[in-house]
Amino acid sequence: MMSIDTETEWMRAQASIERLEREGVSEKAFEPSGEILCCMDEGTPMGDLRSAGSGILTQGEERARFIAALKKAGVESVTSHEGCGAAALYRERHGLTDKSVDEVAMEGAKHLAAELGVPYGGHITELARPKGFHNARVVYADGIGDFNPRKVESLPPGFVVSASVMTQEQAVSEVALALKIAFGEHGFGEKFTPAQPLVVVALGDEALAAALQSAVGGEPRVKIVSFEPVVKTIQKAA
């Protein structure tokens, strides 16, 4: 693995996190730009629908409800990506050790695409983060839909969980997995402290914010903030 200058990576998002906490999230971040299902990974902000491993961990009734909600949201395709933490977890849970994590990720996305009746969108290998390192200091839980931090330059990158197409239980468990990755050996880990916590941003859903507070709010290295989209008033030219 390439050596990562974690201090530089950490400071890269410092100003944008401070600005996020001060100013909230502009409605511009919710303008639809393509209903492609991608992983929640901060390295794959290539679509407006986001779930751990592109839904690989869902099963049973939860999966059925997720599929119905994705169809309603107009899902166009399903992608997988290189070095997927959720696919690695799925591989471990199901004892698929004869396959690589990438193979498991691809198969999972293809399987869900077939169930949705949409094309498989390919395996993303150019990640918007350093390879092998999660530089996210923020986890967004999107209770509105189509949120993507990439649409607003000043927003810090982060994991995105599309809670608007999930049951509250699925959304909370995906946020918890994102926290586990960020706190783990591939993330900033010990750099998170009560003074410099990982920020969980609940968007447009007070019930979800409350559920996140009770599920993960007890962790002193986590800070939960909640925002409604900030509407910018545009002055009309006379």
Could you give the string, one character per residue 201-230, with x where binding to Zn ion holds by CB under 5 A and - elsewhere?
A: ------------------------------
Cα 82 from Cα 27, distance rounded (Å): 31
The beta-strand segments (E) located in the chain are: 36-39, 49-51, 77-81, 120-124, 138-142, 159-161, 198-203, 222-227
The residues with which 38 forms a beta bridge, in sequence order, are: 50
Nearer to Zn ion (CB atom), residue 59 or residue 154? 59
Compute the distance between CA of residue 131 and CA of residue 186 in angstroms, rounded to an integer. 10
How many Å apart are CA 108 and CA 105, to the nearest integer? 5
Sole window of 19-27, 37-45, 90-98, 152-160 interacting with Zn ion (rule: CB under 5 A) = 37-45
Q: Determine which residue in the list 9, 35, 41, 146 makes contact with Zn ion, applying CB under 5 A.
A: 41
Q: Output 57 or 209, the one with its CB closest to Zn ion.
A: 57
* Interface positions, 85-144, toward Zn ion (CB under 5 A): 86
181 binds Zn ion, rule: CB under 5 A = no
C-alpha–C-alpha distance, residues 222 and 176, integer Å: 11
Can residue 146 be called a binding residue for Zn ion (CB under 5 A)? no
Backbone angle region of 60, left / alpha / beta, with phi > 0 → left and psi within -120 to 50 → alpha: left
**Window 44-83: contact mask with Zn ion (x via CB under 5 A):** ----------------------------------------
Piece in contact with Zn ion (CB under 5 A), picked from 4-12, 31-39, 62-70, 188-196: 31-39
Q: Tell me whether residue 24 is exposed, middle or buried, using C-beta atoms within 10 angstroms of its C-beta: 0 to 12, 13 to 18, 19 or more.
A: middle
Whichever of 45 and 143 has its CB closer to Zn ion, that residue is 45
> Where does this chain bind Zn ion (CB under 5 A)?
39, 41, 84, 86
